[in-house]
């Protein structure tokens, strides 16, 4: 029983240390770009995070989730680059237009990648990120979307 308690205490202590070592646990904010909306990022470990984004474009909206791997960038303190993969689902009504064609009501399902940079300010609880999230839609309006670039500003806690 003592070994089990010791092992649990060791794992809890290690978790607390890893949470304190990262810049922030959770950030919530806004994303501007070709797909604009709200963003939330939560770190699972010092170098991995999950990001959720709710965006709007072309008269519809989309929700996406991304697993991200973070690493120091360019030997600049508080600057990290990241890459990741995720999925998305979007909904458009009959007023949505792609170019000059009305596609009616439809739902889009797809997968996407992520590549970006994020700077965490030490003096204030904010981070600023820039990313590119190319997507491959496999259902609904099928095809490649390569224009999803954005700038995110998050309040961190």
Domains in the chain: how many in total?
Answer: 1
54: in domain: yes
Residue 11 lies in a domain: no
The pLDDT tens digits for 5-40 are 444 445 544 444 333 345 689 999 999 999 999 999
Is there a domain that residue 1 lies in?
A: no
The answer to whether residue 126 sits within a structural domain is yes
Q: What radius of gyration, in Å, describes the C-alpha atoms of the chain? A: 19
Query: What's the burial of 90, exposed, middle or buried (CB within 10 Å: 0-12/13-18/19+)?
Result: buried
For residue 17, being part of any structural domain is answered with no
pLDDT at 16: 40
Residue 132 counted as domain residue: yes
DSSP secondary structure, 98-130, as one string: ETTEE--SEEEEEEEEEEEEEEE-SSSSEEEEE
User: In which domain, by residue range, is 121 found?
Assistant: 24-156
CATH code, domain with 108: 2.40.160.20
- Which pLDDT does position 84 carry in this prediction? 98
pLDDT at 140: 79
Global pTM reads 0.79
At residue 60, the pLDDT reads 85
Task: Write the burial class of residue 40 (CB in 10 Å: 0-12 exposed, 13-18 middle, 19+ buried).
Answer: middle
Using one digit for the tens of pLDDT, what is the confidence trace for 99-153?
556 566 788 899 999 999 999 999 999 999 999 999 999 987 788 989 999 999 9
Q: Is residue 9 part of a domain?
A: no
Residues 51-99 have pLDDT tens digits of: 999 998 877 899 999 999 999 999 999 999 999 999 999 998 766 655 5
In a domain, residue 19? The reply is no
Strand 79-92 relative to strand 106-120, pairing: antiparallel
Phi and psi at residue 89, in whole multiples of 5°?
-140, 135
């Amino acid at each position: 029983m003592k070994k089990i308690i010791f092992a649990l205490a060791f794992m809890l202590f290690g978790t607390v240390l890893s949470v304190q070592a990262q810049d922030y646990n959770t950030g919530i904010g806004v994303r501007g770009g070709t797909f604009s909306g709200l963003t939330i990022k939560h770190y699972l470990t010092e170098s991995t995070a999950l990001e959720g984004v709710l965006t709007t474009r072309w008269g519809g909206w989309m929700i996406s989730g991304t697993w991200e791997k973070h690493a120091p960038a360019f030997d600049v303190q508080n600057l990290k680059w990241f890459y990741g993969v995720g999925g998305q689902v979007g909904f458009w009504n009959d007023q949505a237009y792609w170019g000059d064609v009305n596609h009616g009501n439809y739902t889009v399902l797809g997968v996407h990648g992520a590549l970006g940079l994020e700077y965490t300010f030490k003096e204030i609880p904010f981070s600023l990120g820039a990313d590119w999230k190319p997507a491959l839609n496999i259902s609904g309006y099928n095809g490649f979307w390569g224009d999803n670039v954005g700038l995110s500003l998050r309040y961190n806690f």
